[in-house]
Structure 1
C-alpha cells in the first residue's frame, strides 16, 4: 500500500510540474534580457495593441451581458412560444467559431452582399453615398461577432442562478408593491451577480485570447502581437514578454472576480423554495420576449449555420475532398491521443487526492488545472520555449557523445502539439473525473480495505467501474476541444500538417470559406455535443 501511494504521489507531482512548466517558462524568459525587437514594439505599437485589447474585451463583455442576461431571465421565469426548445437552443452559438461567423456577416453586409443589394433594390439607391450600412471589419464589428458566439457563457450561468433563487423572495417583493422589473433589479439581479461575474470573466478571457476573429477583422491585439512576433520576427523572448503581460492580465481578471464576491454569502436557496412555475406572458410583453429570444438564436446560430449549409451544397463538388479527409484524420489522431493522455493524468491526480492523507494532496489537481485559463497562443509560446530548450540539450548531448543529432525532436514534431493540448485541456478531464469520484462513498473504500483489497485492486474493481461515465465524458470533452483548438495549432503544428480548424481558418483568411464549408459544418456539429450534454445536466439538476 505504501509503495502504491508513493507511485501515485511521485507521478502526480511529476505530471503536474510538467503541465505548469510552459507557464513558468514564459515568466522566466520574460524577466530575461530585453531584446531590441521588444523595445521597438514597446516604443511603437504595444500601446495601440493594448488599447485595442482593452476595448475588445470591454465591448465584448458589455454586449454579452446585454444579450445573455435578459434571455436567461426570460427562460428561467417566463413561458413564451417555444421556450422548451429555446432554453437549450440559446446555448448553441458557443459551437460556432468566431471567425466563421465574422466571415459570413461581413459577406452579408458587404457592398455586393444580400443586405445592401436588398436595400438598393427596395429604395432605388444607386450609390453607397446615398445610405449608411455598418462596416463590420472594425473593432466594434469584432466585439459584436465575439459577443454573438460568447454570450451563452453569461446565459448559461445566469439562467442557472435565476432558477436556483428562492421563489418566495420575488413573491414577497411583489406583495410589497414592486413591479416585475423592480424585483428583477433589486432582488434577482444582485443575487445572480456572482454567476454573472463568472460568465463575464469567461467571456473576457475568451475575447482576450481570441486570434481567429481579430485576425480576420484585421484588429491588432496583444494576441496577434504574440503570433506576429514569433512568426515574423522569430523572437521568442519578445513573444514571451508579451505573453507574460497577458497572463498577468488574465490572473488579475480571475482574482478581481473572486475578490469582488469574497464576502458575499447566499443562504436558503433551496430550503424553502417551491417548484418554479413559469409566468405566462401576454400581449406586447409576450411579443417582445418571443421576438428577443428567437431573434438572438437566429442571428447567432441559425443564420450563420444555414449559410454554411448553403455553401456546402453549392460548393461540395468544387471542394478538395481528399484534403478534407486527410485533415479529418489528422484531427482525429491528435485529439484522440491528447484525450487519452489527459484522462490518464486526471486519474492520477484525482486518485492521489482521494487516497493521500497529506495536507498538499489537493495541490496537484489545482495546479494541473491552470492551463485552461491560458490562451492557446500564449501557451504555444511557453511550449515552444520549453521544448526548444529540450531540443538544444538533446543535440548538445548527442554532439558530446558523438551520436547523430536528433534535430528538432520535440519542438518540430507532433509532440509539441500534443503537449499543448494536454496542458490546456487536462483541466476538463480533471474536473469531470473529480465530480464523478466525489459521488463514490468513502465507505466503499473502507469496505474494500477490510476485505483485503490492495489500492491497485480497489481502483480496478471498485473506483473505475463507478466513475466510468465520468471518464467517458472527460475523454469526449477533451477530444472535442482539441478538435476545435486553433490558436496553439497554428503555431505548433508540423510543416504541411493541417487539422480541421486550420483548414477552415485558411479558407476563411483567403476569403474562400465556401470551399471549406464542409469541414466547418463538421466542426460545429462536433462542438454541439458538449453543449447538449451541459444543458441536459443543467435540466436534470433542477428537476
Structure 2
C-alpha cells in the first residue's frame, strides 16, 4: 500500500517533455501565418502600395464590410433570439420539431445558398417568370429587388448563421431565466415585459457570443460576396494576389481584415462590461410554457417556419430539383474525382487535427503554467483567422522557402527543382489545419475535463507514465470526443472555399471549388450536384447536434 506522501506528489513527476514541446510547436504553427502577414506588411516598398489602396479600393472595402457586419448582426440576433424565445417559453403546434430543426441551416454553406436563390430570383428564374405570366408584365413594367447585392448577401448570411445565436440564446433562456421569469410574473410584469427586462439581459453574453461567431464567419466568407460582386476585404485579397500579383497589397488587406476580426472579438468582450451572470442557486425549475392558441399560435408557427424554410428547406429542395433535372453532365468519373479530392483533403486534415489536439489537450492537463495557457490561446486564434488571411500567411513563407531550396539545388547540383512546396496538398492541409485545429482541441478538452484526475493517480500508482496513461486509460474514454472532433474538422474543411481556391494544387478541384467555378460561369444547374453533396455531408453533424438538443430538452423537462 503506498505511503500517504505519494498523494502529495505531482501527478506526473517525470512528465515527458515532448508533450509540452508538441503543444508549443502547434501554437507556433498557428501563429506563423499571422506573423508572416505582419512582417510582409512592413517590408520595404509597401508604403506606396498602402497609399494606393487607401486612395482607391480601401474606403469601399471598409464601408461594405461595416454594412455587412451591421446587417448580419441585426439579422442573426432578431432571428436567433426570437426563435429561441418562442420554443423555450411558449407551447404551440410543431414547437418540439422546431426546437431541433432550427439548427439545420448551419449545414447550408452561405455560398451554396447564394447560388440557389440567384437561380430562383433572377430575371429568367421561376419567381419573376411566374409574375410576368400572371400579370402580363414586361421587363420595364415592374421592379424586383436584386439578390446579387449587399442586401442580398446580408439576407444569405442571416439565414445561414442565425443558428449560432439561436443555440446559445436557447440554452441561456432554459438555464438562467426559469425561476426569475416566475418572479417577474409575481411582480405583475407581462410576458413581454419579463422578456425585455429579465430574460434578455440575462442572455446578453450568450447572444453577443453567437453574434460574434456569425460575424467572424461573415468576414471569412469569399464565395457569397464574390458571386454577388460585393467588394469586401476577402475579395480584395484574392484579386490582389491572383489578378494583380501584388503580394504586399494582399498582405496589407489581410491585416486590415484581421483588424476587423479583432474588433469583433473586443466588442463582444466589452459588451459584457463588468456585469456577471452567475446562477445563485443550484435549483433548476422548469418554467411552464405559455400555451398559444388561435392567431398567436399561427404567428408563432410562421415565425419559426420562416427561417427554417428559407434557410434550409427551400434551398435544399431547389438544389435537389436542379440536380435531378439537369445536374452536372460530368457526374460520373469527374464527380468521383472531385469527391475523392475533398475526402482526401478533409480526411488528412481531420486526422492531423485530432492527433495534435490530443497532444495539446493532454499536455495542458499534465502541465500548468503560462506557457501552456498562452499556447492554448494562440491555437484558439486559428478559427478567428479567415481562410484568405491564413492562405496569404502560408503562401508567403512557403514561396520564399521554395525559392531558397531551388536556389540551393541549382547552385550545388545544377538541378532546376521548381516549386516543391507551393501549390501542393501539403501546404493546403497546413492552412486548413491552422484554421480548424481549435475545433478539435476544444472538443477533446471537453472530453478530458470529464475524466477525474484520480484515474491519472491510479495509472501512476500502477507504474504507467503519461504516454501509457493516455494510450490505455484516456483514449478508450475519449473515443466519442475523438470521433466528434474528427467529424467537425472534416465537415468544416469540406466546406472551406477561400483557402482552397488560393492554395489548391494545379488540377486539384474539390466539391466546393467545382460548385463555385460552375456558379461563377452562370452554370447553376450543373453546380447543384456538387453543392448538394456538400450540404448532404454537412447534415451528419447537424443530425448529431439535433439529437443532443432533443436529449438536453428531455433531461431539462424532468
What TM-score comes out, normalization by structure 1 length? 0.96
Distance 1:405 1:474 in 2: 42
Distance 1:195 1:513, change over 3 A: same
2:71 paired with 1:48: no
Distance 1:453 1:403 in 2: 53
Distance 1:358 1:153, change over 3 A: closer
Distance 2:401 2:24 in 1: 20
Encode CA deviations 1:264-309: one digit per residue, 9 max, x unaligned: 2123266233124322211221111011111221111111110111
Match of 1:481 among 471, 492, 495: 492
Residue 67 (structure 1) aligns with: 79
Distance 1:316 1:143 in 2: 28
Distance 1:125 1:213 in 2: 33
Distance 2:369 2:263 in 1: 30
2:322 paired with 1:311: yes
Encode CA deviations 1:210-254: one digit per residue, 9 max, x unaligned: 111111111111111001000011111111111111112211210
Q: Higher mean Cα deviation, 273-282 or 461-470?
A: 273-282
Match of 1:10 among 10, 21, 25: 21
Residues 493-532 of structure 1 aligned to structure 2 (within 5 Å):
493-532=504-543
Q: Could you tell me whether the CA contact under 8 Å between 2:491 and 2:538 is conserved in 1?
A: yes
Match of 1:76 among 80, 88, 96: 88
Distance 2:281 2:310 in 1: 36
Distance 1:400 1:319 in 2: 46
Match of 2:307 among 280, 296, 318: 296
| SS, match of residue 112 in structure 2 | helix
Match of 2:278 among 257, 267, 271: 267
| SS, match of residue 278 in structure 2 | coil
Distance 2:519 2:167 in 1: 29
- Long gaps (5+) in structure 1: none
Match of 1:57 among 41, 64, 69: 69
What TM-score comes out, normalization by structure 2 length? 0.93
Q: Could you tell me whether the CA contact under 8 Å between 1:78 and 1:278 is conserved in 2?
A: yes
Match of 1:108 among 108, 117, 120: 120
Residue 384 (structure 1) aligns with: 395
Distance 2:355 2:344 in 1: 17
Residue 36 (structure 2) aligns with: 25
Deviation at 1:120, TM superposition (A): 2.7
Q: Higher mean Cα deviation, 436-445 or 507-516?
A: 507-516
Residue 176 (structure 2) aligns with: 165
Deviation at 1:341, TM superposition (A): 0.7
Residue 5 (structure 2) aligns with: none
Deviation at 1:410, TM superposition (A): 1.4
2:244 paired with 1:214: no
Distance 1:486 1:317 in 2: 19
Deviation at 1:112, TM superposition (A): 2.3
Deviation at 1:406, TM superposition (A): 3.2
Deviation at 1:508, TM superposition (A): 1.1
Distance 1:51 1:405 in 2: 47
Residues 91-490 of structure 1 aligned to structure 2 (within 5 Å):
91-122=103-134, 124-268=135-279, 271-316=282-327, 318-402=329-413, 404-490=415-501
Distance 2:49 2:42 in 1: 15
Deviation at 1:35, TM superposition (A): 5.6
Deviation at 1:142, TM superposition (A): 1.2
Deviation at 1:174, TM superposition (A): 1.6
Q: Could you tell me whether the CA contact under 8 Å between 2:92 and 2:293 is conserved in 1?
A: no
Distance 1:407 1:15 in 2: 28
Q: Could you tell me whether the CA contact under 8 Å between 2:15 and 2:366 is conserved in 1?
A: no
Q: Could you tell me whether the CA contact under 8 Å between 2:177 and 2:199 is conserved in 1?
A: no
Distance 1:198 1:61 in 2: 11
Q: Higher mean Cα deviation, 315-324 or 187-196?
A: 315-324
Residue 100 (structure 2) aligns with: 88
Q: Could you tell me whether the CA contact under 8 Å between 1:342 and 1:422 is conserved in 2?
A: yes
Distance 1:371 1:317, change over 3 A: closer
| SS, match of residue 177 in structure 1 | coil
Distance 1:263 1:252 in 2: 19
Encode CA deviations 1:456-490: one digit per residue, 9 max, x unaligned: 21111111111111111111111111111111000
Encode CA deviations 1:317-365: one digit per residue, 9 max, x unaligned: 7343221110000011111111111111111111111112444322222
Q: Higher mean Cα deviation, 266-275 or 279-288?
A: 266-275
Q: Could you tell me whether the CA contact under 8 Å between 1:205 and 1:250 is conserved in 2?
A: yes
Q: Higher mean Cα deviation, 257-266 or 497-506?
A: 257-266
Deviation at 1:188, TM superposition (A): 0.8
Encode CA deviations 1:419-458: one digit per residue, 9 max, x unaligned: 1111111101101111001111101111111111122211
Encode CA deviations 1:6-51: one digit per residue, 9 max, x unaligned: 1112222122212210111111111223164443222111111211
Distance 1:294 1:131 in 2: 29
Q: Aligned-pair RMSD on alpha carbons?
A: 1.8
Aligned positions, number? 542
